[in-house]
Amino acid sequence: MIPVQKLKTLITTALLGTPFLCPASTAFAASVEAVTVTKEPPKVQTRTFDHTNPGPEVPIKGREAATTHCSYDYVVDIGLQSISSRRNEDIYAHKFKITRLAVRLNLPITFWLPDTVNQRLREHEDGHRQIYEEIYSNAEKTAARQAQEILSETFIGQGKTLEDAQNDAKTKIAIELNRRYGNEILAYARMVTQLYDNATKSGKNRTPVFLAIRESFLQAWFMNLTKKRQ
C-alpha cells in the first residue's frame, strides 16, 4: 500500500490596499520588515470508506488499502508600488517593487481508512501525518526567507490600467513564490514519505513507525547533502 500524497500550494492575490486577515488566536506569525508569515495549526480529519466498494470519491489506487492526503496550502497578499512605466499604444507596462508580502500557510490532512482498518495500518498512515507535520513545523521559516529574498526583485506588469498591470505583476510574483515554496517543501515531503514507504514496505513489515520516520529523515538529509556537493 503506497499512500497517494495530495501535496500542493494554493496562491491567491488581493488588490493593493486590501487587508490580509488571519485569526491571531490560532496562528503563529513571523515578521521580517515588509514580510509577515502566518502559520495555521494542522487540521486533521479521518474519513472511513467501505473496503468492498470504495466509491469514486475515495482517492485510493490499485491495491492500496488506505491513503493519507495532505495539502501544503500557501496564500499570499501582495502590496506593490509602481516605480516606472511605458506605453505601447493602449497597453501600459509598469515596473513594480514589492512593498508588502503577507503569507498564510495551512496544512489540512485527511486519513482515508477502510472500515476494516487494523492497528498496524492505522499506525502506518499516522506515520505519514507525523512526517507532514514535522516538515510543516519549519515551513514558516522557509516561506519567510523566500519572501524576503524576492523583495529585492522587480516585476513587470502589463494592462490597460494601473490596476490591470498590478494584477498581472501580482500573478507573476505569486507563481514565482509558489514555485520556490514547492521546490523546497513539497519536494522534501515527497522524498521523505517515499523513503518511509520503502522502509516500511508500505506498512507491510514490522519496522516500528518511529524508527522508520527517523531513518527516512536521515536518508533524505544525506541525499540532499550529496546533491549539494555535486
Please indicate, yes or no, if residue 18 is contained in any of the structural domains: no
Does residue 29 have a pLDDT over 80? no
Decide if pLDDT at 171 tops 90: yes
Please give the angle made by the CA atoms of 17, 19 and 8, to the nearest 5 degrees.
110
Residue type, 42: P
User: How much is the average pLDDT of 153-169?
Assistant: 94
Determine the average pLDDT of the residues in 184-210.
92
- Is pLDDT larger for residue 4 or for residue 173? 173
Q: Does residue 78 lie in a domain region? A: yes
Q: Is 12 part of a structural domain of the chain? A: no
Which pLDDT tens digit goes with each residue over 69-115?
999 999 999 999 999 988 888 898 999 999 999 999 999 999 999 99
Largest CA distance in the chain: 69
Considering the domain boundaries, does residue 13 fall inside one? no
CB-hemisphere CA count at 13 Å for 6? 16
80/153 Cα distance (integer angstroms): 12
What pTM value is reported for the model?
A: 0.81
- pLDDT over 60 (residue 164): yes
- Residue 59 grid coordinates: 482517492
Predicted confidence at residue 7, as pLDDT, reads: 35
Task: List the one residue out of 14, 16, 13 whose CA is nearest residue 162.
Answer: 16
Per-residue pLDDT, 209: 95
Q: Which domain holds residue 147?
A: 24-229
Q: Is the per-residue pLDDT at 6 higher than 60?
A: no
If one counts the domains in the chain, the total is: 1
Q: Given this model, what pLDDT does residue 22 score?
A: 33
The arithmetic mean of pLDDT across residues 11-16, rounded, is 30
In a domain, 7, yes or no: no
Instruction: Give CA separation, 156 vs 13, 36, 146, 164, 173, in Å.
Output: 16, 23, 19, 12, 10
Q: How high is the pLDDT of residue 9? A: 35
Does pLDDT of 187 surpass 60?
A: yes
201 has a pLDDT exceeding 90: no
Please report the pLDDT score of residue 202 as a whole number: 85
Extract the runs of DSSP E, i.e. beta strands, from 35-151.
35-39, 43-49, 67-70, 73-88, 91-106, 108-114
117 domain-assigned:
yes
- Residue 6 lies inside a defined structural domain of this protein: no
Answer whether residue 162 is part of any domain: yes
Q: What is the pLDDT of residue 3?
A: 33
